[in-house]
């Protein structure tokens, strides 16, 4: 049975942990506000440029463009985006489980060769230790997330895709829904998927005059679109991570408070029992002395 000293030390230790989790929650909350603003501002641009590209593709020769050309998939690259740090609940583990499930259930049965492009320290460590084929990696970017990170990912992935080293690129990441909710997204990145409603839109656009030529605008927008999608994915993941961390630290702070309350009750009971035992010993000793005299 734990002594009073042991219980007291546990209470002191849990109080120290509670202060840390409370401070981490406050930091995550402050960062989350900025991350939310960034993703809210980035979403309309990413969505609009995707729509523009799809509209132009309706009347462009996409069959000869390597970014839209579907190939027989023999090699696939998975871009798995996690956080650089832990203490954010199941944020990282859910992404890694989805990536492993996708590989084992959908790719391995088709004998498709898989290479991983991990983004984030947790993803890099996970796949490196399990001897997956790593085609590149990027970590340590979320502490000060910058647009240059999306450019680096774009350069690495598109270079391998154009060289024929991979036939398909899939993004797996957490999308920010709300502070307490994140949604795992498994989305094809290359070849660029087109919307199903393109044919109807092209008819309505047939009277537009483009300057410069439609094909020039189309080719100019392709890299813009890809970089915007990667940037949005990084912002989504960053905001989702901060939301998950804030929720996790809030739960940890609450659990610490409940545990301290429970330990205080236990401490008081043990202390009362010890005092009662000492009183009984004193009374018994006094009675024994009376009897002997």
Catalytic residues: 88
Instruction: Tell me the Cα Rg of the chain.
Output: 29
- Those residues with Cβ within 8 angstroms of residue 96's Cβ, 6 or more apart along the chain or in another chain: 80, 82, 122, 123, 126
Judge whether 90 and 54 are in contact, CB under 8 Å: no
Dist CA 211 CA 273 (whole Å): 89
Dist CA 199 CA 58 (whole Å): 6
Q: Which residues pair with 190 in a beta bridge?
A: 169
Judge whether 183 and 233 are in contact, CB under 8 Å: no
Give burial (CB, 10 Å; 0-12/13-18/19+) of 226: buried
């Amino acid at each position: 049975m734990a002594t009073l000293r042991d219980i007291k030390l546990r209470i002191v230790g849990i109080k120290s942990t509670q202060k840390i989790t409370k401070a981490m929650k406050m930091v995550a909350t402050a960062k989350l506000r900025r991350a939310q603003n960034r993703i809210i501002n980035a979403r309309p641009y990413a969505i609009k440029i995707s729509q523009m590209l799809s509209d132009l593709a309706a009347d462009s020769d996409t069959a000869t463009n390597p970014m839209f050309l579907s190939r027989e998939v023999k090699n696939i690259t998975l871009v798995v985006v996690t956080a650089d740090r832990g203490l954010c609940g199941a944020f990282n583990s859910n992404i890694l489980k989805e990536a492993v499930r996708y590989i084992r259930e959908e790719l391995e049965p088709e004998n498709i060769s898989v290479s991983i492009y991990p983004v984030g320290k947790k993803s890099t460590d996970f796949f490196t230790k399990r001897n997956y084929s790593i085609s590149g990696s990027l970590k340590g970017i979320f502490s000060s997330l910058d647009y240059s990170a999306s450019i680096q990912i774009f350069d690495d992935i598109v270079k391998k895709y154009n060289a024929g080293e991979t036939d398909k690129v899939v993004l797996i990441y957490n999308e920010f829904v709300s502070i307490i909710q994140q949604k795992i997204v498994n989305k094809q990145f290359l070849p660029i998927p087109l919307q199903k409603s393109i044919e109807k839109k092209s008819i309505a656009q047939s009277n537009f005059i483009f300057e410069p030529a439609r094909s020039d605008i189309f080719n100019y927008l392709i890299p813009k679109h890809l970089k915007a999608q990667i940037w949005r994915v990084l912002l989504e993941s960053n905001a989702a991570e901060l939301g998950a961390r804030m929720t996790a630290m809030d739960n940890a702070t609450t659990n610490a408070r409940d545990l301290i309350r429970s330990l205080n009750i236990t401490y008081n009971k043990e202390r009362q029992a010890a005092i009662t035992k000492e009183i009984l010993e004193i009374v018994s000793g006094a009675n024994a002395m009376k009897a002997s005299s």
